[in-house]
A and B are shown apart, each in its own frame.
Chain A
Amino acid sequence: MNCQEVMELMQRHVDGDLDQQETALMTAHVGGCPECAVMLERLQRLSDDLSLLPRVEPKFSIVDAILPQLVRLESERLSESAEDKTDTKAVVPRLRSERPRGRLLRRWSGIVAAGIVAGLLLISQQLQLSNDHSDNDAAAPGEFGNAAFSVKAPEYAATMEDGEAPAAAPEAGVSERSSSAKIAPDSVAGGAAQEAPAASEQAIDNGSAASIAEPGINSVEVGDQYGANAFVTPSIGSDEETKSKTSDVNSINGLTAQVTALVSPDGLWRAVAYEGDGTLRIYATKDDSLVFESEHRAGSLTGLAWEPESEQLTYTWIDEQGNKKNLAYNADEIREFTP
């Protein structure tokens, strides 16, 4: 038996794949061949090292992060199977009944507090606004705030520092609680209405009534203080929350990474930009497939805006030095260019 053949035996040996006879063959050869003995030792050590590689885990629950998308996929499936596509009442209560209220609230509060849900951002923005109108008459505010806080606090503790997280979590709870919605019936069936199921579900669970308009950008009602670009600023909570995000690099990388998501007016595309990342990504709303990804670059993207005909998206890339560059994406040609 030559060294080449023994190499294979040694390889299988570290995987525990040899029978007794093969082991004996290998041992006999290695005993008389110092080179193979060294190789066996190295292989074994490498294999041991590989076995000890850290079992890394995501910094926050990925399932929580995609729940709104899953809810939307589900409602699309249901509305496709329903004969009358405008009958949202049949769709929404069913979604709700399938998930117990407590768990739903906990998940939503987690999602909102984490600030990572692109689809929710538009709605959240509006909820915040309706909060400003302070018609908070629904179920016990203190109770809800505490619930959101106590559930989320341990998760925050992992990546956030000091008391910043507790400041942010109840804040998210409040804006959620104050949601009170009147659902536009055609907003769920319409292709452009990706946030509608999530929003309506939330509103029903909170048992109050207010108005979420059709979730297209055009219909977002923006208060003066937010300016025309309010949808680009997905901050959900208060100033404290914003502060905590900017003061803790790790939390930006992890839990509180903010996302800007903007659906094209025709409802076909969703432009997505992460805070702290200058990369533009375009997804098809129908199946969430990634259609386009720009070159990877540092910095951030701001001022995302679709042209009314949906053929073009304009935005500004600010690099790490603060230099601004206007860019555009052409949806027909699926490419980025400098206008």
Chain B
Amino acid sequence: MIEPALIKSAQAGDREALVALLREIENHVYRTAYYLLNHEQDAMDAAQEALIRIYTKINTYEEKAQFRTWVQKIVTNICIDKFRRKRPSVSIDEHELVFESRDNVETEVLTAYAAEEIREAIGKLPEHHRSVVVLRYLQDFSYNEIADSLDLPLNTVKSYLFRARQQLQTLLHDYQKGGVRG
């Protein structure tokens, strides 16, 4: 939870407070970018862009909104712009290399690959479904918070989330039936 006093100081022009505020949120910003873009370097770029935008636009934040939904709105917008500009691609990035190089017992490897599999399945969802799932599960947002972050009506958020879970369930179920995991 971000201290409201810290936000106030930052808005009043206290640069120390503003930088401290950015430090509080950088992991949250990165996490959303990472799961939306499915690529480590792209996520770093997007998170940087988002933090700089937050730094320059801090005065446009109004207290009637939750700070964290305001932050997530900025980062999801940047990510959606990014993946609209790019061809969709599923990347094999450093995380997989890390798993391979470690001396894990078999069960740990399986758990890791399961998470990897879910991440890839999320990457196959349409952009808004993906955003809803990421905010719901990686930021623990409520329906209302998701609606605020994405500027969507509450019912649309629910229908996106429900459809996304059905799609994920199908994707992952097919995967399991393929025998890789179960």
Residues of A at under 8 Å CB distance from B?
7-8, 11-12, 14-15, 17, 42-43, 46-47, 49-58, 61-63, 65-67, 69-70, 73-74, 98-99, 250, 253-254, 274, 277, 288, 290, 293, 296
- Assess the A58–B44 pair: CB atoms within 8 A: yes
- If the complex has contacts A11-B165, A43-B165, are A57 and B30 also in contact, measured as CB distance less than 8 A? yes
Cα A49 to Cα B29 in complex, Å, equals 21
- Assess the A58–B19 pair: CB atoms within 8 A: no
Which of B15, B19, B47, B118 is the one whose CB lies under 8 Å from A50? B118
- Assess the A51–B56 pair: CB atoms within 8 A: no
Residues of B at under 8 Å CB distance from A?
15-16, 19, 22-23, 26-27, 29-31, 34-35, 40-41, 43-44, 47-49, 51-52, 55-56, 85-86, 94-95, 97-98, 114-115, 118-119, 133, 136-138, 143, 158, 161-162, 165, 168-169, 172-173
Closest to B162 in A: A11
Which of A63, A73, A250 is the one whose CB lies under 8 Å from B56? A73
- If the complex has contacts A42-B173, A58-B27, A288-B52, are A53 and B35 also in contact, measured as CB distance less than 8 A? yes
Cα A8 to Cα B19 in complex, Å, equals 43
- Assess the B27–A57 pair: CB atoms within 8 A: yes
Contacts of A290 in B (CB 8 A): 49
Can you report 20 residue pairs joining A to B where beta carbons are below 8 Å apart? A15-B143, A17-B143, A42-B173, A46-B168, A49-B118, A50-B133, A50-B168, A55-B27, A56-B34, A58-B26, A58-B43, A61-B26, A62-B47, A62-B48, A63-B51, A69-B52, A74-B15, A250-B98, A288-B52, A293-B85
- Assess the B115–A53 pair: CB atoms within 8 A: yes
- Assess the B31–A56 pair: CB atoms within 8 A: yes
- Assess the A58–B30 pair: CB atoms within 8 A: yes
Number of residue pairs A-B, CB distance < 8 angstroms? 101
A73 to chain B, nearest CB (A): 6
Contacts of B162 in A (CB 8 A): 7-8, 11
Cα A161 to Cα B181 in complex, Å, equals 33
- Assess the A62–B30 pair: CB atoms within 8 A: yes
Contacts of B173 in A (CB 8 A): 42
Contacts of A296 in B (CB 8 A): 86
Contacts of B51 in A (CB 8 A): 62-63, 66
- If the complex has contacts A17-B143, A47-B165, A58-B44, are A53 and B15 also in contact, measured as CB distance less than 8 A? no
Contacts of A43 in B (CB 8 A): 165, 169
Which of B41, B161, B169 is the one whose CB lies under 8 Å from A277? B41
